[in-house]
Structure 1
Amino acid sequence: MKTRLNCPCGVAIKGTDEDDLIEQTQAHLAENHPGHDYTPDEILFIAY
Protein backbone atom coordinates (compact mmCIF):
# COMPACT_ATOMS: atom_id res chain seq x y z
CA MET A 1 0.00 0.00 0.00
CA LYS A 2 1.35 3.40 -0.99
CA THR A 3 0.95 6.09 1.66
CA ARG A 4 3.59 8.71 0.84
CA LEU A 5 4.25 11.18 -1.93
CA ASN A 6 6.81 13.93 -2.39
CA CYS A 7 5.44 16.85 -4.37
CA PRO A 8 7.99 18.48 -6.70
CA CYS A 9 7.48 21.70 -4.70
CA GLY A 10 9.13 20.00 -1.74
CA VAL A 11 6.07 19.15 0.37
CA ALA A 12 5.94 15.59 1.73
CA ILE A 13 2.41 14.21 1.88
CA LYS A 14 1.56 11.20 4.03
CA GLY A 15 -1.77 9.42 4.19
CA THR A 16 -3.11 6.73 6.49
CA ASP A 17 -4.00 4.65 3.42
CA GLU A 18 -4.13 5.13 -0.36
CA ASP A 19 -7.55 6.80 -0.30
CA ASP A 20 -6.38 9.29 2.34
CA LEU A 21 -3.18 9.96 0.39
CA ILE A 22 -5.19 10.69 -2.77
CA GLU A 23 -7.51 13.02 -0.85
CA GLN A 24 -4.63 14.89 0.80
CA THR A 25 -2.71 15.16 -2.48
CA GLN A 26 -5.71 16.51 -4.36
CA ALA A 27 -6.31 19.05 -1.57
CA HIS A 28 -2.64 20.11 -1.70
CA LEU A 29 -2.81 20.49 -5.48
CA ALA A 30 -6.04 22.53 -5.33
CA GLU A 31 -4.61 24.88 -2.70
CA ASN A 32 -1.04 25.24 -3.90
CA HIS A 33 -1.04 24.32 -7.59
CA PRO A 34 -4.35 25.40 -9.18
CA GLY A 35 -4.85 23.82 -12.58
CA HIS A 36 -2.65 20.82 -11.82
CA ASP A 37 -5.21 18.09 -11.42
CA TYR A 38 -4.18 14.45 -11.25
CA THR A 39 -6.30 11.31 -11.27
CA PRO A 40 -6.04 8.84 -8.38
CA ASP A 41 -4.08 6.48 -10.67
CA GLU A 42 -1.59 9.22 -11.53
CA ILE A 43 -1.15 10.08 -7.85
CA LEU A 44 -0.56 6.46 -6.90
CA PHE A 45 1.91 6.06 -9.79
CA ILE A 46 4.25 8.63 -8.23
CA ALA A 47 3.52 7.63 -4.63
CA TYR A 48 5.52 5.15 -2.62
Structure 2
Amino acid sequence: MKTRLNCPCGEHIRGTDEDDLIEKTRAHLAEKHPDHDYTRDEILFIAY
Protein backbone atom coordinates (compact mmCIF):
# COMPACT_ATOMS: atom_id res chain seq x y z
CA MET A 1 0.00 0.00 0.00
CA LYS A 2 1.31 3.42 -0.95
CA THR A 3 0.86 6.16 1.62
CA ARG A 4 3.40 8.86 0.68
CA LEU A 5 3.98 11.22 -2.20
CA ASN A 6 6.55 13.94 -2.83
CA CYS A 7 5.15 16.67 -5.04
CA PRO A 8 7.71 18.26 -7.39
CA CYS A 9 6.95 21.61 -5.66
CA GLY A 10 8.53 20.23 -2.49
CA GLU A 11 5.36 19.35 -0.57
CA HIS A 12 5.44 15.98 1.19
CA ILE A 13 2.03 14.36 1.41
CA ARG A 14 1.27 11.43 3.71
CA GLY A 15 -1.98 9.50 4.03
CA THR A 16 -3.13 6.80 6.41
CA ASP A 17 -4.01 4.61 3.42
CA GLU A 18 -4.24 4.99 -0.36
CA ASP A 19 -7.71 6.56 -0.25
CA ASP A 20 -6.53 9.15 2.29
CA LEU A 21 -3.41 9.85 0.21
CA ILE A 22 -5.53 10.39 -2.92
CA GLU A 23 -7.85 12.76 -1.03
CA LYS A 24 -4.96 14.78 0.42
CA THR A 25 -3.12 14.87 -2.91
CA ARG A 26 -6.21 16.11 -4.74
CA ALA A 27 -6.72 18.80 -2.08
CA HIS A 28 -3.09 19.88 -2.50
CA LEU A 29 -3.46 19.96 -6.29
CA ALA A 30 -6.66 22.01 -6.08
CA GLU A 31 -5.02 24.54 -3.77
CA LYS A 32 -1.51 24.81 -5.21
CA HIS A 33 -1.78 23.47 -8.77
CA PRO A 34 -5.35 24.03 -10.02
CA ASP A 35 -4.26 23.55 -13.64
CA HIS A 36 -3.12 19.96 -12.92
CA ASP A 37 -5.62 17.13 -12.82
CA TYR A 38 -4.43 13.58 -12.20
CA THR A 39 -6.30 10.29 -12.03
CA ARG A 40 -6.10 7.97 -9.04
CA ASP A 41 -3.77 5.69 -11.01
CA GLU A 42 -1.48 8.57 -11.97
CA ILE A 43 -1.25 9.71 -8.35
CA LEU A 44 -0.49 6.19 -7.13
CA PHE A 45 2.13 5.76 -9.87
CA ILE A 46 4.26 8.53 -8.35
CA ALA A 47 3.45 7.61 -4.75
CA TYR A 48 5.44 5.23 -2.59
TM-score, structure 2 length as denominator? Answer: 0.98
Find runs of 4+ consecutive structure 1 residues off by over 4 angstroms. none
Alignment of 1:1-48 (within 5 A): 1-48=1-48
**Alignment identity in percent?**
83
Between Structure 1 and Structure 2, how many residues are aligned? 48
Cα shift at 1:24? 0.2
Q: What RMSD, in angstroms, separates the aligned Cα atoms of the two structures?
A: 0.3
Structure 2: stretches of 5+ with no match in the other structure: none
SS of 1:31 mapped into structure 2: helix
TM-score, structure 1 length as denominator? Answer: 0.98
Residue type at the aligned position of 1:7: C
SS of 2:13 mapped into structure 1: strand
